[in-house]
Amino acid sequence: MSNVLVTGGAGYIGSHACKALRNAGFTPVTYDNLCTGWEDAVKFGPFEKGELHDRAALDAVFETYKPVAVMHFAALSQVGDSMKQPGQYWHNNVGGSLVLFEAAIAAGCLNIVFSSTCATYGEHDNVLLDETIEQRPINAYASSKRAIEDMLQDYENAHGLRNVIFRYFNVAGADPDAEVGEFHQPETHLVPLMLDAIAGKRDALTIYGTDYDTPDGTCIRDYVHVCDLVDAHVLGLRWLLEGKESRVFNLGSGTGFSVREVVDQSRAVNNRAVPISEGERRPGDCTKLVSGSTRAEKELGWTPTRSKMDTMIADAWKWHQTGHYDR
């Protein structure tokens, strides 16, 4: 079986991608420093602990495993934190990617599947976002991802480093088999925070900002199931291995939910009240981010099957009840 190097493979999305790769006949090789990932999430292939900035370690991994491609998930990703400490995001996300791409080129591994974000688009009022929309990032996290996208284009022009870039909308849900799931420390994502509040593991779910220009005053986001998301990554990998051109794809469901609407959906799924508190807006948060793209469906043949809000919450709740959050 062909090896695929998965940076950040011990994290939420990366661990699900490793399972999808294994099921598709590849061997995922996780490369992770466990800063935000968890070693017990590495279940589907070899594990190499290391830093993106450690060129010698990366060279050794490329030499040992000779991967046919890299899936690059490793990154700091908290919007609020990026506004307070932008240097960490430029150093870790951009600087680390630079070292990784140099190592890949030196090893002759010229296929990159990159985890980007819809946050690179910034604020576009009342616009469904497709891949042609101007990118205007408004926080350091999004700026760092945009910079890596630009870097990939430069490296392709100079060295033939072909790439598929996926701009994610909000990722939710968990593996339906509950082998892996979503766990961050500290937790910052809406669905697991909401489930923690339901389960009594925190006093309440804080809604940050209730005065946005939306029907109920809370932010609107497009949610995509993590399993649908990683299925697209396998399709993107095959796209590159078939020799097709570099491409950018949005990954979203095309449906927007406000924070309050997600809470209402949770009540319908779990039949449990969600304790709520209201807080101020967080710097760097956009009002509305919803995908208007069908490119992944038309060109990759990607068909999301689990990206309905009730399914995402039910899968996340199943994972939540396994006790993994109690570690």
Q: Are 166 and 307 in contact (CB under 8 A)?
A: no
Length, in residues, of the chain: 327
d(CA 109, CA 4): 10
Q: Is the Cβ–Cβ distance between 109 and 62 less than 8 Å? A: yes
- Annotated domain spans of the chain: 3-172+223-251, 190-221+254-326
Global pTM reads: 0.93
212 is catalytic: no
pLDDT digits (tens, 9 = 90+) for 265-319: 998 888 888 999 999 998 878 888 899 999 999 999 999 999 999 999 999 999 8
Pairing status of strand 247-251 against strand 162-168: parallel
What is the spatial distance between Cα 14 and Cα 70, in angstroms, rounded to a whole number? 12
Helix (H, G, I), strand (E, B) or coil at 209: coil
CA angle 115, 117, 121 (to 5 degrees): 145
Instruction: Return the pLDDT at 57.
Output: 98
Q: Is the pLDDT of residue 171 over 90?
A: yes
Amino acid at 289: L
Structural contact between residues 159 and 298, judged by C-beta atoms closer than 8 angstroms: no
φ, ψ of residue 130 to 5 degrees: the values are: -120, 180
Give the pLDDT band (50/70/90) at residue 322: confident
Report how far apart the first and last C-alpha atoms of the chain are (Å, whole number). 34
DSSP letters, 185-238, are: SS---HHHHHHHHHTTSSS-EEEE-S-SSSTTSS-EEEEEEHHHHHHHHHHHHH
Dist CA 208 CA 74 (whole Å): 26
CB-CB contact of 197 with 205 (8 Å): yes
Least confident of 15-24, 44-53, 118-127, 140-149: 118-127
Least confident of 138-147, 169-178, 188-197: 188-197
Beta carbons of 83 and 283 less than 8 angstroms apart: yes
State mean pLDDT over 88-106. Answer: 97
pLDDT tens digits along 226-264: 999 999 999 999 999 999 999 999 999 999 999 999 999
What is the 8-class DSSP label of residue 41?
G
Give the pLDDT mean for 34-49: 94
- CA-nearest of 77, 133, 155 to 248 is 133
Domain 3-172+223-251 has CATH 3.10.20.600: no
HSE-up of residue 290 (Cα within 13 Å, Cβ side):
15
User: Which CATH number applies to 190-221+254-326?
Assistant: 3.90.25.10
Catalytic residue, chosen from 141, 155, 168, 212, is 141
Q: Tell me what pLDDT residue 327 has.
A: 46
Beta strands at 162-168 and 170-172: parallel, antiparallel or unpaired: unpaired
**Contact assessment for residue 218 and residue 263, using Cβ atoms and an 8 Å cutoff:** no
Instruction: Determine the pLDDT at residue 324.
Output: 67
How high is the mean pLDDT of the chain? 93
